[in-house]
Structure 1
Amino acid sequence: MNTALRSAMASAGLSPRRLAVRVGVTGKTVERWLADAELTPHARNREDACRALGVGEEMIWPQSVKDRVKSGYDRELVHSYPYRSACPSDLWGELIRGASRELFFAGYTNYFLWSQVPAFSETLRRKAGAGCRVRFLIGDPEGDVTRDRERAEKVTLTVSTRIRTTLEQLSRMGPVDGLDIRFSAAEDAVYHVGLSVFRFDDDAFVTPHLARLVGHDAPLLHLHRQADGGMFDRFAEHAEELWEQGSRVPV
């Protein structure tokens, strides 16, 4: 438990719900901060929380201060998870809601986002309306790579079904200015199916897919851009190249 955070909240007379309102997150998110002393919230949320509590960041989240003195490109690795499913579900929502310029979902199927993020379609529509660029790069449900992957995974919820679920959810949204969807090109699909990149402005989740495992069993890296040419840029450029070669999907 993060006893330093609990003590600071008590001194400031703030309950988890009231602190959540001040920071702009859910009460469940604050409860998660309290329950895990090793968890370091997003930088913007740390700053807002410390301002509301009237304490320094080093008191509540000392690891964040240590992380800032990392050298080189190591600074860009915020956290690593052995499984995508181990990444807190609230973190997806925090990063999506916090983005103002760029939301790029370059997973091969992306279908899980609607169950992972509450009111996901409404959030996308609101973001696009506020000028945020929203993109989905998905695999072709009829493609050879999709069929090969289905044979490898051997699961009931097939790759093509997961892709069609995403297409159906996007279709239900109707035309949205600022929302673009593409299939990855046939010659690039093998690179796409093996690596998912999800970008939220200067943060990204990267998931390299292992052997026959489905996406939620693959490891996940949380990156935050710090400098030109770092890990964030390398993976972002990979996704951009696949996007440029892809074909537009009318919904």
Structure 2
Amino acid sequence: MDEALRRAMSQARMSDRELAEHCGVDSKTVSRWITQTSRVPHARHRWAVSEALGEDESVLWPAAAKKLVKAGPDREVAEVFPYRSACPASLWRTLITKAERELTFAGYTNYFLWLEHARFGTVLRRKAGAGCRVRFLVGDPDSELTRVREQEEGVALSLSTRIRVTLSELEKLKEDGIDARLSSGHAYLSVFRFDNDMIVTPLLTHRVGHDAPTLHLRRCQDDGMFDRFASHVQELWTRGAPVWKGTDEQA
């Protein structure tokens, strides 16, 4: 019997069926997670359960969390996904929800965020209001680089259109302490930071963002992979052009 999971479900007043619906599995699967300690959920389901119950994964499945502890140069790599679309929505939601100090979205369009996350603007307002720094680094829709990438992608909803949709959504948030800058230096690399967690997607030619291989990084050391990507984004932010006049110029 997985007492930690059973106790967390009881405290959250969540039934097997309700948790199953949240995780996208059958209720019998949840029952097996509880009654058979050898049945540890897949990583994406562990994230979904943790989010639903408001409990850390290491508390619910300490053995699984221990196996993920690494000592080599790849220890900051928490998980790898073959496509960004394979990165579970529950992971994004959990990272955004738990971030307290910094949310940085340095995708070239960031368009998918509004598509895939309900009431995203409301969430950003709440985060900024609680003192979290919220930044968006977006590609310049009128740049030559954007035009070249549009030709490479060859999709109906063009890159510049997706950027303009994002800028339109951000326009609604400019009075809420949310900052945005234009940059062309990250056309083939998207970095999304949530305090000490990060999602990185190196974009491939002739591919759209959701087809990009994706890394979930967690900061464990100085000058590791996390810090190097963070420095890259900070340099682009410093070089970037504010989207709105009067935007805070601090780096």
TM-score after normalising by structure 2: 0.80
Q: What whole-Å deviation, never above 9, does each CA across 1:60-84 have from its counterpart, x for those lacking one?
A: 352211222x113322111000000
Structure 2 counterpart of 1:196:
190
**Offset of residue 116 of structure 1:** 1.6
1:90 offset after TM fit, Å?
1.7
Distance 1:169 1:46, change over 3 A: closer
| 2:238 paired residue among 233, 237, 244 | 244
1:213 to 187, 198, 207: 207
Letter in 2 for 1:242: L
Task: Give the structure 1 partner of residue 42 of structure 2.
Answer: 38
* Within-5 A mapping of 1:156-235: 156-177=156-177, 179-184=178-183, 189=184, 191-235=185-229
Q: Which one-letter code corresponds to 1:164 in the other structure?
A: R
Equivalents in 1 of 2:143, 2:55: separation in Å?
47
1:49 corresponds in structure 2 to: 55
Cα distance change on mapping 1:233 and 1:30 into 2, 3 Å: farther
Asked if the contact 1:92/1:116 (under 8 Å) is kept, the reply is no
3-state SS of the aligned residue for 2:175? coil
Q: Which residue of 2 aligns with 1:133?
A: 133
Q: Partner letter of residue 192 of structure 1?
A: H
Structure 1 Cα separation of the partners of residues 150 and 11 of structure 2: 44
Q: Quick check: 1:111 aligned with 2:117?
A: no
Identity of aligned residues (%): 47
The number of aligned residues is: 229
In the aligned structure 2, how far is the partner of 1:216 from the partner of 1:126? Answer: 27
AA aligned to 1:215 is G
1:91 counterpart letter in structure 2: L
- Aligned-pair distance for 1:223? 0.3
Q: Are the counterparts in 1 of residues 109 and 162 from structure 2 also a CA contact under 8 Å?
A: yes
Q: Which letter does structure 1 place at the counterpart of 2:187?
A: V
- Offset at residue 215 of structure 1 (A): 0.1
Separation (CA, whole Å) in 2 of partners of 1:82 and 1:244: 31
Structure 2 unmatched runs, 5+ = 34-39, 246-251
Structure 2 CA distance for partners of 1:13 and 1:64, relative to 1, 3 Å: closer
Shift of 1:207: 0.2
AA matched with 1:206:
V
In the aligned structure 2, how far is the partner of 1:133 from the partner of 1:171?
17
Answer yes or no: is the 8 Å Cα contact 2:12–2:53 preserved in 1. Answer: no
The alpha carbon displacement at 1:41 in A equals: 3.1
Offset of residue 49 of structure 1? 3.2
Matched AA of 1:108: Y
Structure 1, unmatched stretches of 5+, are none
> Aligned equivalents of 1:30 and 1:61: distance in 2?
23
Distance 2:24 2:129 in 1: 29
- Looking at structure 2, the residues matched to 229 and 212 of structure 1 have their Cα atoms a distance apart, in angstroms, of 32
What CA deviation, in whole Å up to 9, does each residue of 1:146-201 have, x standing for no partner?
A: 00000111000100000001011111235112x110001xxxx2x41100000000
Q: Is the 8 A contact 1:83 1:216 kept in 2?
A: yes
1:109 is paired with a residue whose SS is coil
Report the CA distance between 1:14 and its aligned residue: 3.2
